[in-house]
């Protein structure tokens, strides 16, 4: 089955076992590390099971995801002045930042569209668990919040595919990890250097 998946070597995919685990902190640190060498596009993905369904985070939610009109919606972030994750990614130095809101059943369609609108030589930093079901990135790291042992369903489905599981204790584990990330400039392949 793995061989049937699309490969995106220039993507660093960040998943997490739960909310507030450090995905955006890791993404912004990677952007800051590589922004002078590469054109970086950041992507945050929110998958939705059904139109007008429940908030993926539980509860009533804010309504942003549940009002999706089509099978997917790609929104470009243009503000660096809010505390939204996408705004923080743009502020960190990404060339462009997108939020892909997508029905789970149309994630491949949404990704195909995203890949068609970005420059081919981009380094992609992406936050998503579900995306690992349909693509093979250059590297996939799963962040585990050491203070919370309950994993989201989307994380449990892909954690076995992680190239690295980062146990975030909110000291300097993310900073230490970022030092291990390298990019092969020749083929834009982003990897974790375990020898470091």
By DSSP bridging, strand 6-16 and strand 189-192 are unpaired
> Domain ranges in the chain?
2-192
For 150, list phi and psi in degrees, rounded to 5.
-90, 120
pTM to 2 decimals? 0.88
Q: How many CA atoms lie within 13 A of 118 on its CB side?
A: 28
Q: What is the pLDDT of residue 50?
A: 59
CA distance 70 to 91: 29
Per-residue pLDDT, averaged over 167-180, amounts to 82
Domain 2-192 has CATH 3.40.50: yes
| pLDDT, tens only, 123-156 | 999 999 999 999 999 999 999 877 777 788 989 9
Residues with Cβ within 8 Å of residue 79, at least 6 apart in sequence:
87, 90
Query: What pLDDT shows up at residue 1?
Result: 42
Q: Minimum mean pLDDT among 45-54, 105-114, 116-125: which range?
A: 45-54
- Structure tokens that stand for 15 in this block: 């998943």
Per-residue confidence at 35, pLDDT binned at 50, 70, 90? very high
On whether the CB atoms of residues 25 and 176 are closer than 8 A, the answer is no
Three-state DSSP class for 154?
helix
Closest CA to 42 of 69, 72, 74, 65: 74
Q: Which of 116, 127, 63, 115 is nearest to 89 (CA)?
A: 127
**Model confidence at 196: pLDDT above 50:** no
The mean per-residue pLDDT over the stretch 151-171 comes to 88
Query: What is the model's pLDDT at position 107?
Result: 95
Query: Do 69 and 14 form a contact (C-beta atoms < 8 A)?
Result: no
Percent of the chain with pLDDT over 90: 61
Q: What is the mean pLDDT of residues 110-126?
A: 95
Residue 127 tokens, joined: 């936050």
Question: pLDDT (tens digit, 9 = 90+) per residue, 36-63?
Answer: 999 999 999 999 975 555 554 455 545 5
Q: For the residues 55-79, what does the mean pLDDT come to?
A: 70
Residue 77 has a pLDDT of 97
- Gap between the Cα atoms of 90 and 132, Å rounded: 23
* Mean pLDDT along residues 88-92: 96
């Amino acid at each position: 089955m793995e061989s049937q998946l699309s490969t995106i070597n220039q993507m660093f995919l960040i998943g997490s076992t739960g909310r507030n685990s450090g995905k955006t902190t890791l993404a912004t640190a990677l952007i800051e590390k590589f922004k002078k060498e590469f054109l970086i596009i950041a992507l945050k993905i929110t998958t939705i099971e059904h139109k007008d369904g429940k908030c993926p985070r539980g509860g009533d939610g804010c309504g942003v995801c549940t009002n999706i009109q089509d099978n997917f919606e790609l929104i470009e972030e243009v503000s660096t002045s809010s505390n939204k994750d996408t705004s923080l990614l743009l502020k960190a130095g990404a060339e462009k930042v997108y939020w892909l809101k997508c029905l789970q059943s149309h994630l491949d369609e949404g990704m195909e569209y995203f890949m068609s609108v970005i420059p081919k030589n981009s380094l992609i930093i992406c936050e998503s668990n579900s995306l690992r079901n349909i693509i093979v990135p250059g590297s996939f790291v799963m962040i585990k919040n050491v203070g919370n042992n309950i994993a989201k369903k989307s994380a449990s489905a892909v954690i076995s595919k992680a190239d690295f599981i980062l146990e975030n204790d909110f000291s300097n584990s993310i900073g230490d990890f970022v030092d291990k990330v390298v990019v092969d400039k020749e083929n834009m392949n982003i990897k974790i250097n375990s020898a470091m």
